[in-house]
Amino acid sequence: MVRGFLAPATLEEFCARVEEIKTQEPLSYDEMFQRHYVNGHAYFQKILHRMMLKIAVDTFKEELVASYSFLSFYQEGRGFCPPHRDRPECYRTIDICLRQRRPWALFVDGEEFLMEPGDAIFYAGSEQLHWRDVISEGNYCDLLFFHFSRAV
């Protein structure tokens, strides 16, 4: 986990964009995870290609291809994330907490991570089992994902 992965100004800008997106664009709904989401929004796709790809390559120390960005909005008292491994498109992931009422544990291979807004977790989504328990009453959580696939 990287504490303060996003500088405060960047976190503020991302959150402002997310609020715009929430009010101005249709959100998709995922029944299984009970969350709203936006897949591959143009603004975050640019961030993916211009900024996050290099960070991912440097951090994971392997050649990667930018796959897609993903915004995930878990509402108050709803939502969970059952134990799973991701598709090959999510071979490597940067998972960033944007806003929440209180930390909501993410488990990766059994290790618990409690993120604050601006923190990030780097993990191997298609290899490491990861999950979150049902979000607690009164809590909410907005997450931003950048996914990378293996370079061929």
Footprint of Fe ion (CB under 5 A): 86
Look at phi and psi of residue 101 and say left if phi exceeds 0, alpha if psi is from -120 to 50, else beta. Answer: alpha
Contact (Cβ atoms closer than 8 angstroms) between residue 128 and residue 63: no
Minimum Å gap between C-beta 126 and Fe ion is: 9
Distance CA 130, CA 26 (A): 28
First to last CA, the chain: 27
Minimum Å gap between C-beta 59 and Fe ion is: 18
Which lies closer to Fe ion via its Cβ, residue 5 or residue 70? 70
Minimum Å gap between C-beta 57 and Fe ion is: 20
Which lies closer to Fe ion via its Cβ, residue 41 or residue 92? 92
In this structure, what are the phi and psi dihedrals at residue 24, rounded to the nearest 5 degrees?
Answer: -105, -15
Minimum Å gap between C-beta 125 and Fe ion is: 5
Which lies closer to Fe ion via its Cβ, residue 50 or residue 85? 85
Q: Which amino acid is at 64?
A: L
Q: Which helix (H) or strand (E) holds 68?
A: strand 64-74
Which lies closer to Fe ion via its Cβ, residue 8 or residue 82? 82
- Residue 57 tokens, joined: 């390559």
